[in-house]
Structure 1
Amino acid sequence: MSDLLNALINSEEKIDWRHFVSDIRQQEKRYLLRNDILSAFTNYCINHQKSSEFPKKSNLSKLIYYTQEIILEDGSLCLIIRPKIASQEVYRVTEDLKIEPMTVQELLDVRDLLVNRFHPNEGDIFEIDFGPFYDYSPTIRDPKNIGKGVQFLNRFLSSKLLQDPQKWLEALYKFLSLHSYNNLQLLINDRIKSQQELSDRVKQGLKLVSDLPADEPYQNFRYELQTMGFEPGWGNTASRVRDTLSLLDELIDSPDPQTLEAFISRIPMIFRVVLVSIHGWFGQEGVLGRPDTGGQVVYVLDQAKSLEQELQEHICLTGLEVLGVESKVIILTRLIPNNDGTRSNQRLEKVHGTENAWILRVPFREYNPNITHNWISRFEIWPYLETYAIDAERELLAEFQGRPDFIVGNYSDGNLVAFLLARRLKITQCNVAHALEKSKYLFSNLYWQESDDKYHFSLQFTADLIAMNAANFLISSTYQEIVGTPDSVGQYESYKCFTMPELYHVVNGIELFSPKFNVVPPGVNENVYFPYTRQEDRIPNDRDRLEQMLFTQEDSGLIFGKLDDPSKRPLFSMARLDRIKNMTGLAECFGKSERLQEHCNLILIAGKLRVEESGDNEERDEIEKLYRIIDQYNLYGKIRWLGVRLPKNDSGEIYRIIADRQGIFVQPALFEAFGLTILESMISGLPTFATQFGGPLEIIQDKVNGFYINPTNLEETAEKIWEFVSKCEHNSNYWQEVSQRGIERVYSTYTWKIHTNKLLSLGRIYGFWNFTSKENREDLLRYLESLFYLLYKPRAQRLLERHLHS
């Protein structure tokens, strides 16, 4: 990018550059983000009457396109340029047009000065740098392959097998001899004493099973295999054992990535799984819509059900079912003594529809029962997590009657607890970050001191850095969660370098090109959410009851608004009432469009109806705002607001009822990491409009099976929805066409079977990688422990002291 800068400044366009800089200096802002920069450039072109070609083909326009941020300094400015995804360059341009490359440290100093918190000459600041810990690990080169970590890792491991077959076959031999279940040896026994002997015995075993009928049960030839050195775990029939041994034989003779993944995915090494989801009201009914309780609960419950089924199928296929081997999945969450009518005070609860999946609730220690016996906001939860992990370890060991094999953390708090548990139990750790708050709150790190009393970002961002670097692998729902798009920075990318003035500088917070990143989108519960056309699976009584609740039932204390004409096309949305979910923005969008009001009703299922009923500050603010909008735009008779918490089955039927009336689902979030409600609405058959900021970009194909909206531009959003409504009224088939394409999109890509199959395959392959690579993670883990005890724990202790005196 320095070439482009030099070309600009050494051409006639340097006059335009001076004028553009002069224009932006007239603004009050000293820190311009991408949207500010693009808007300022558009205004510059208009005000200076530039030609129609200038905004597209000039050097200045090219520079503007790649510039992510501009910081105005006295006498110069700092350009943060993103020439490509996951890459950043920083330059200072002086008044006399000198171009000086800047280091990350210099950039962070400039940002500190911007908030007048810290001057770099007044002393050093703590620097966090994870870069050296990734120097000895393989890294991906091409940004488009970020998120395909396991594919890269398989290629890397296969190449190692070819380069040094003796070493890697020895590692493979040792790895196969490791596995057992409750003292039952699996795969190979001590009759096979070396990797060469393993190779010979594989060929003997293949000859044995090849002569047997394909469906011959494993039990019938178990002892013949055992005398060769093969223990249970290779398959449940002769054909399954033959296929598994063939893969190993091929891997020994001529390794390739596909064979490696196929073989490792067959190894019985994961039986007991922990899913960690700490905050909120975790339950199977009566919890959704409460503060901090939404899509993550749905995600984890559905994941647990599918995992248990997938694990049990794998046990059956490996021939271990007849030996009494069982899978077990535990969702580890928080026990809340003052349960407010939920089951959150029950220690153990079986997951509906499963044989051996459980919710295990462990309480926070009673530092102050007025706090710890009640729900605690996800922003206030941090002081209790270390002792919680210690208590949870004891409970998990008792429930599993041994160590779990695999742990999956969810969200920042669950990921930190997963780190603490994985460290103590020495098991493979996977992290899921459904949404990282750093991306949701603008300048949340830069101005952290102004909001730390309310949000405690200093704790959360430190916890994120620790957990994401500790994890053996991370899964995201979308590619752009990791590294964004050409126009926007990804959630994880935002942790690459940042400052928290007077606390620390992060000069390298995460290696985006590490193979630990994998895109594994979630699924949708097909038993609850299915197309509205499947009338035979719908329950008429439920439909009648819910239809009345949505459109005609009199105010019951849980419903606001009576519709003048319930037959109008419904615009529907369902989400928590918080700022990011932006339900108030949708109401205002509706209020600004007389055409939408004339042809549609707005139906919202969102939070509570009264301020005094909510204990969440953001929810209270949004309740007040929604009432103001209804008054301002006189939406009485056109809006229906339900403050209800729905059982899952009811929410599925509600989507279908809206679809019966050829309605529309609108997801107006300011940012959405993924968007399970989008999958739910699409599979139900509802044409869906969803935010262009976040995961929906990878779910929806715009104007094919859904539509993108910019929730910050209410008039444009209203126009897009109206355009669709108008088309539907002029073409009776248009609604059905979009509806059907949405259904097909979900079934082809977003099922839980696809998700859990991939997740378990990743768990096995990263377990194999950790063993065979002999990668020294101890230095990294010690560094992470230092951050935990020196940065995280003292701040958590101060928050705890505040809670003790509440």
Structure 2
Amino acid sequence: MHELVQAVFGSDEKTALHQLIDALRVLDKFYFLRNEILHVFADYCQQYQKPAYFYYSSAIGKLINYTHEIILEAESTWFVVRPRIGSQQVWRLRPDFTGFDLMTPQAFLDVSDRLVNRYQPHILEIDLHPFYQGSPTIDDPRNIGQGLAFLNHYLCNQLLTNPEYWVEALFKALHRLHYNNIPLLISDRISSGTQLAKRLKQALKFLSQRSPNESYEKFRVDLQELGFEAGWGNTAARVSETLELFERLIDTPQPAILEAFVSRIPAVFRVVLISIHGWVGQQDVLGRDETLGQVIYVLEQARSLENKLQAEIKLAGLDLLGIKPHVIILTRLIPNCEGTECNLRLEKVQNTENAWILRVPFREFNPEITNNWISKFDIWPYLETFAEDAEKELLAEFQGCPSLIIGNYSDGNLVASLLSRSLKVTQCNIAHSLEKPKYLFSNLYWQDLEDQYHFSAQYTADIISMNAADFIITSSYQEIVGTPDSMGQYESYKCFTMPQLYHVIDGIDLFSPKFNMVPPGVDDKNFFPYTQKEDRDPSLSAQVIDLLFHREDPHIFGKLNNPNKRPIFAILPITFIKNLTGLAECFGRSQALQERCNLIIVTSKLHPDAATNPEDTREIQRLHDIINQYHLDGNIRWLGMRLPSNYIGEAYRVIGDRQGIYVHFARFEAFGRSILEAMISGLPTFASKFGGALEIIADQENGFHLNPTDLEETANKILNFLDQCDTHPEHWNEISEEMSQRIRNSYNWQSHTSQLLSLAKMFSFWNFIAPENNESRDRYMETLFHLIYKPRAEKILEKHLKF
């Protein structure tokens, strides 16, 4: 970056830089983000008639394209430059334009505070960098999010360079595996790694003389005499394969062998999935609008985990010992549950043998609050005592300690951290979406937003839990470090200010192997291609067609003048972030779209008075206003009702029957469950380029990525696709099949669960043999919890106690 800066000052482009800064100052603003900066630079290039190459290829053009933020002080100009993914620098342009100075994060955060008139000379600085020094780290940004593959290579290299130490480490890691005091894999008859290597050869020789299909039970005693306990396999062939993998791993360590061996190790039996603030239930309730996707995710993950663990236990031969998997979804019990079953302490997860929803109530404090549903923004005062109570309940239900704790969302991740710390259990975090990047400048103006959103508690909780976690699952690469043009969700926690509260100098190591991309799957019982006619229920189809196109109902708005026009379909909660109002306005502004298509929207609410918060009330009313403004009555259907999953699945397929399209027009979408559902159903899917859809819809050149801030471009992209369908009748079918096939290949629960369990086993092993800085790191997190988080949470509680 230094060379690029010098190139600007070593040429006549220095004058261009001066003119550009003057152009920014004329706008009477002090803070600019990347899109604004590029727009001003493009206008500058046009005004001064710069040649075409200047915008991209000149030194100043490259500098501006790397710049993500600019702050204008009275004299100096500050540039936040991102020369590569996962890395940023701060440069200050001197007042006299004699040069650029590379600045520290502290200096930049100070100037940010001054920008909002909340600077103080002495402020708490949070710096996690020392706790990651000396740890294995990924070098290439392209490999961020592939922590498991990195650790496999790293450990194999260690085995090669120091085989004696690592063979002993492997022995100790396997020797400690037990289930309810039943030893697994290796007994006390083997006392060292060296002895284990010798016994392996004896065991393999013994097994070579047995029939491959012979049951483990028949030769169990013989293996026990050699020091091998249950867990290696259920037949002679399976035990032999697993032992051979282990022997090969010791003799010629390779990542593929290590991964295959670890996948066979029976180390996970009891799993906790934490999802706290939603209505977690199955009958008549699947979360509120803000938690619907999370609840569906957790239920599907629980079913998949139990199935996979059952298969692993059987293949390991442990079913002979009566060992069964046990999966618990931990959530809160809600006494005033509005006719749902969210007031039941224990509920079995449908279509499972031993997966359960365990509901633990919040301690009473003020029953007017704690007996009711509590928004994700207000839940923070109750989490510590919830974790204490939940620990006792979990130990009682499991009759032992869990093997793995998985947190979901900010609140669930914080509770996972508290439980993991107390129980000494491997912790996995899943964020689904982090609020900080969704609410622009929310950290800078946190004091103004505190009464409604309580971001001070939430962002502190995020820092604590993401650093305390043993590993973090993300659905996409951009969730971690974004794209060359945008910052990732986790990356936004790297360096930021909460003025007059604290500065985060280094909040997370983005190159840590703890980050792993493990995308979710789709419920293939309810969501499958529209072409699978044999699996569709004609009666259900008729009901859904009537709902989408014809039925009159107090919860349905609009009567279509021509129901046979190609449908544009959207099914999302009606929130500001999901931006259904933007989609309606795009449709309303385009007469061409209205002539060729109908817009069909499915949300959970139709009327403003049904909303649970002011933001959603405004959004519902705004959608009504847009429909009236553009006179869309005969071209739009708006269903404001919660549909069961089987109806939603059939709705996608009914739209597919009519060669419709799906549009997801969110201002930002961390991943997008409905995108997966629409694509696997066979719908050509258009989705926001701000978020996970960039990776779900792989081909970025075919126009299926939309900019929700550009309504005209969006309409043109959809119309261009429709033109191609008209001129080439098979085009719709080709795109439909491509999208459906992509989801089937890349987004399925079987793959998700296999990767998740491999990660749990590997990081449990890693923490055992190389605990690094974990204890000191966790002490640091405890300090943040008690000195920052708890006082912020107590302020919320004081407010709640006054209700």
Give the TM-score normalised by the residue count of structure 1: 0.98
Counterparts of residues 779-798 of structure 1 (less than 5 Å): 779-798=776-795
Q: 1:568 aligns with which of 558, 565, 569?
A: 565
Structure 1 match to 2:68: 68
Shift of 1:527: 1.1
Counterparts of residues 25-44 of structure 1 (less than 5 Å): 25-44=25-44
C-alpha separation between the residues in 1 aligned to 2:438 and 2:587?
24
Shift of 1:94: 1.4
Shift of 1:731: 2.3
Counterparts of residues 632-643 of structure 1 (less than 5 Å): 632-643=629-640
Structure 1 match to 2:480: 482
Shift of 1:136: 2.5
Instruction: Give the AA of the match of 1:635.
Output: L
Change in Cα spacing, 1:763 to 1:553, as seen in structure 2 (3 Å) is same
Instruction: Give the AA of the match of 1:42.
Output: A
Q: 2:580 aligns with which of 579, 583, 587?
A: 583
Change in Cα spacing, 1:166 to 1:702, as seen in structure 2 (3 Å) is closer
Larger mean Cα displacement after TM superposition, 480-489 or 341-350:
341-350
Instruction: Give the AA of the match of 1:109.
Output: D
Shift of 1:612: 1.7
Is the 1:705–1:738 Cα contact (8 Å) retained in structure 2?
A: no
Instruction: Give the AA of the match of 2:639.
Output: L
C-alpha separation between the residues in 2 aligned to 1:747 and 1:365?
44
Counterparts of residues 389-468 of structure 1 (less than 5 Å): 389-468=387-466
C-alpha separation between the residues in 2 aligned to 1:626 and 1:371?
31
Shift of 1:372: 1.0
Is the 2:279–2:287 Cα contact (8 Å) retained in structure 1?
A: no
Whether 1:592 aligns to 2:589 is yes
Is the 2:443–2:497 Cα contact (8 Å) retained in structure 1?
A: yes
Q: Among all aligned residue pairs of Structure 1 and Structure 2, give the percentage whose two residues are the same amino acid.
A: 58
Whether 1:803 aligns to 2:792 is no
Structure 2 match to 1:352: 350
Secondary structure of 1:763 counterpart: helix
Instruction: Give the AA of the match of 2:43.
Output: N
Structure 2 match to 1:668: 665
C-alpha separation between the residues in 1 aligned to 2:200 and 2:474?
38
Q: 2:727 aligns with which of 708, 727, 730?
A: 730
CA shift digits 1:89-131 (9 cap, x unpaired): 11111132222110010000010000001143xxx10000001
Whether 1:300 aligns to 2:298 is yes
Secondary structure of 2:317 counterpart: coil
Is the 1:520–1:758 Cα contact (8 Å) retained in structure 2?
A: yes
C-alpha separation between the residues in 2 aligned to 1:131 and 1:62?
29
Shift of 1:650: 1.2
Counterparts of residues 518-667 of structure 1 (less than 5 Å): 518-554=516-552, 556-667=553-664
Shift of 1:705: 8.0
Is the 2:56–2:65 Cα contact (8 Å) retained in structure 1?
A: no
Shift of 1:39: 0.3
CA shift digits 1:251-283 (9 cap, x unpaired): 222222222222122111100000111112112
Secondary structure of 2:90 counterpart: strand
Instruction: Give the AA of the match of 1:656.
Output: R
Structure 1 match to 2:330: 332
C-alpha separation between the residues in 2 aligned to 1:28 and 1:291?
39
Shift of 1:285: 3.8
Instruction: Give the AA of the match of 1:275.
Output: L
Is the 1:70–1:77 Cα contact (8 Å) retained in structure 2?
A: yes
Structure 1 match to 2:107: 106
Whether 1:230 aligns to 2:240 is no
C-alpha separation between the residues in 2 aligned to 1:589 and 1:326?
53
Change in Cα spacing, 1:347 to 1:696, as seen in structure 2 (3 Å) is same
Q: 2:214 aligns with which of 213, 216, 230?
A: 216
Shift of 1:38: 0.4
Secondary structure of 1:736 counterpart: helix
C-alpha separation between the residues in 2 aligned to 1:703 and 1:497?
30
C-alpha separation between the residues in 2 aligned to 1:691 and 1:682?
14
Secondary structure of 1:88 counterpart: strand
Whether 1:747 aligns to 2:744 is yes
Whether 1:155 aligns to 2:187 is no
Structure 2 match to 1:4: 4
Structure 1 unaligned regions, length at least 5 = none
Is the 1:679–1:746 Cα contact (8 Å) retained in structure 2?
A: yes
Shift of 1:191: 1.0
Q: 2:181 aligns with which of 180, 183, 186?
A: 183
Is the 1:289–1:606 Cα contact (8 Å) retained in structure 2?
A: no
Larger mean Cα displacement after TM superposition, 702-711 or 8-17:
702-711
C-alpha separation between the residues in 2 aligned to 1:704 and 1:734?
16
Instruction: Give the AA of the match of 1:551.
Output: F
C-alpha separation between the residues in 1 aligned to 2:220 and 2:751?
32
Q: 2:385 aligns with which of 387, 396, 402?
A: 387
Is the 2:278–2:291 Cα contact (8 Å) retained in structure 1?
A: yes
Q: 2:767 aligns with which of 760, 767, 770?
A: 770
Is the 1:289–1:575 Cα contact (8 Å) retained in structure 2?
A: no
RMSD: 1.2
Secondary structure of 2:52 counterpart: coil
Shift of 1:704: 7.5
Change in Cα spacing, 1:254 to 1:136, as seen in structure 2 (3 Å) is same
Secondary structure of 1:358 counterpart: strand
Instruction: Give the AA of the match of 1:102.
Output: M
Shift of 1:706: 7.5
Is the 2:123–2:502 Cα contact (8 Å) retained in structure 1?
A: yes
Larger mean Cα displacement after TM superposition, 16-25 or 772-781:
772-781
Instruction: Give the AA of the match of 1:8.
Output: V
Secondary structure of 1:118 counterpart: coil
Shift of 1:291: 3.4
CA shift digits 1:715-755 (9 cap, x unpaired): 11111111112222232211111100011101111110000
Secondary structure of 2:243 counterpart: helix
Secondary structure of 2:634 counterpart: coil
C-alpha separation between the residues in 2 aligned to 1:358 and 1:637?
47
C-alpha separation between the residues in 2 aligned to 1:775 and 1:7?
43
C-alpha separation between the residues in 1 aligned to 2:65 and 2:770?
42
Secondary structure of 2:447 counterpart: helix
Is the 2:287–2:295 Cα contact (8 Å) retained in structure 1?
A: no
C-alpha separation between the residues in 1 aligned to 2:373 and 2:564?
40
C-alpha separation between the residues in 2 aligned to 1:776 and 1:103?
25
Change in Cα spacing, 1:340 to 1:298, as seen in structure 2 (3 Å) is same
Larger mean Cα displacement after TM superposition, 602-611 or 75-84:
602-611
C-alpha separation between the residues in 1 aligned to 2:233 and 2:426?
24
Shift of 1:57: 2.1
Change in Cα spacing, 1:721 to 1:40, as seen in structure 2 (3 Å) is same
Counterparts of residues 79-94 of structure 1 (less than 5 Å): 79-94=79-94
Is the 1:579–1:622 Cα contact (8 Å) retained in structure 2?
A: yes
Instruction: Give the AA of the match of 1:344.
Output: C
Shift of 1:286: 2.6
Structure 2 match to 1:318: 316
Change in Cα spacing, 1:704 to 1:303, as seen in structure 2 (3 Å) is farther
CA shift digits 1:736-783 (9 cap, x unpaired): 111000111011111100000000010000011001113241111111
CA shift digits 1:770-800 (9 cap, x unpaired): 0111324111111100000000001101101
Shift of 1:596: 0.7
CA shift digits 1:52-93 (9 cap, x unpaired): 222132111111111111110111100111110111111111
Q: 1:202 aligns with which of 200, 203, 209?
A: 200
Q: What is the aligned residue count?
A: 802
Change in Cα spacing, 1:196 to 1:289, as seen in structure 2 (3 Å) is closer
Larger mean Cα displacement after TM superposition, 453-462 or 152-161:
152-161
C-alpha separation between the residues in 2 aligned to 1:776 and 1:510?
14
Is the 1:673–1:694 Cα contact (8 Å) retained in structure 2?
A: yes
C-alpha separation between the residues in 2 aligned to 1:706 and 1:427?
46
Give the TM-score normalised by the residue count of structure 2: 0.98
Structure 2 unaligned regions, length at least 5 = none
Larger mean Cα displacement after TM superposition, 157-166 or 676-685:
157-166
